[in-house]
Amino acid sequence: MNTHPLVSVIMPAYNRAQTLPAAIASVTAQSYGNWELIVVDDRSTDTTKEVVAELAERDSRIQCIANERTKGVGGARNTGMLQAKGDFIAFLDSDDEWLPFHLEETLRMIRETQADVGFALWLERQGDALIDAFEEPHQRERLEAIKRSFHQHSDDVAVMHTGLFERYVKDTLCIFHINTMVFKREKLQPCGMFLEEFHIGEDSAFMINFFDQCRISLHMKPHSIYNLSPDSIYFFVDRRKVDPDRLHLDKAVLQKLETAGLQALAFKQYLRRKIEECNWHDRKRLLLLSSYTLARQYYTLSYIHRFEKRKAIRYCLQSMKHNVNSFNLLLLCYILFSVKRSNSFLRKPVDLW
């Protein structure tokens, strides 16, 4: 393996003139210098293109290309990948940042473990606070379980080859982030491109195509910073602090959560189709788990809209279509009889994630 390969960094951007300089600065600050940065302007209406052009004048490794039409984040990444010249491809969103050692450490890990794909963990920035969610006890337990289940190359690196997709479905593993993904460009053809019809979950739909098809290494230390912001497609609000019983008082957040929930359902339906294509011995149990997941998502939408009777009923019936249980049966009664007070039992299955 070439010890100093070219890495093509793909950065989709839409109206990100304010956040682009910090994101691009985190690329130029990398301790590994053999990279090209392809910023894909997805038909921005602000000064995104001009900001990138100015930065490109200072560093010839930076270039900006524009989509002929707005394609969304997945389509923008596809445009960038088709222009990539590197031996490896990496991604960074235009409102997030890499830590300075990301590319160097990931390429070293890939080389030492003979992997095709490298991932790492990440930090979350909320305002001025940097949070390492993986330091929480249940997340540490998850990471330790990963070490036990797959080959442990070192204290901080696990190597996965087979069984990862099944494990992802069973445990809903949220330990892979597109911003930390680095992979051999030769794997693009067998694993495929981003699905442009997805606006949420397009990154997960792309990443899981590499599971069980490639040798994957995971560095269990943070390599990037994910910025939580109000204009984020998914993380526009800290869901841990949202009271589902008071959401009806904030129509803007409620509408965003509904949109995000429906888009998340599209990915979960896609995941179910992938499970149906597999020949796992416990495929039936995994399909049942998928049904529970879909039912819960629709249930949540019904619960947070219970002050809008027709919409709440529609979502509740969709929940029952996937799995009939005591929760959605009782919720339906509450909606039909216009019972609007909160109920601790009915609230238990609500999952705003």
- Report H helices in the chain: 20-28, 48-58, 72-83, 102-113, 137-149, 164-171, 188-191, 202-207, 251-277, 283-304, 309-322, 326-336, 344-347
User: What is the reported pLDDT for 152?
Assistant: 86
Closest alpha carbon to 20 in 234, 230, 256, 227: 227
3-53 residue pLDDT tens: 799 999 999 999 999 999 999 999 999 999 999 999 999 999 999 999 999
140-196 residue pLDDT tens: 888 888 888 898 888 899 999 888 998 888 877 689 999 999 999 999 999 999 999
Helix, strand, coil proportions of the chain in percent (round to 5)?
50, 15, 35
Distance CA 296, CA 316 (A): 10
pTM: 0.89
Closest alpha carbon to 233 in 97, 129, 50, 96: 96
Q: How many other C-beta atoms lie within 10 A of the C-beta of residue 245?
A: 18
Instruction: Read off the amino acid at residue 100.
Output: P
Select the more confidently predicted residue: 99 or 173. Answer: 99
> Taking each helix axis from N to C terminus, what angle separates 309-322 and 326-336, rounded to the nearest 10 degrees?
160
Closest alpha carbon to 100 in 5, 4, 25, 153: 25
Query: Is the model's pLDDT at 200 over the cut of 90?
Result: no
Confidence grade of residue 234 (pLDDT, cut at 50, 70, 90): low
Can you list the domains of the chain with their CATH numbers? Answer: 7-227 (3.90.550.10), 239-347 (no CATH)
Distance CA 297, CA 265 (A): 7
Phi/psi-derived region of residue 162, left when phi > 0, alpha when psi is between -120 and 50, beta in every other case: beta
User: What is the reported pLDDT for 1?
Assistant: 57
Q: Which is it for strands 62-66 and 35-41: parallel, antiparallel or unpaired? A: parallel
For the segment 318-334, the average pLDDT, to the nearest whole number, is: 96
Residues of the chain above pLDDT 70, percent: 97
| 3-class secondary structure, 89 | strand
Instruction: Read off the amino acid at residue 249.
Output: L
Query: Is the model's pLDDT at 267 over the cut of 60?
Result: yes
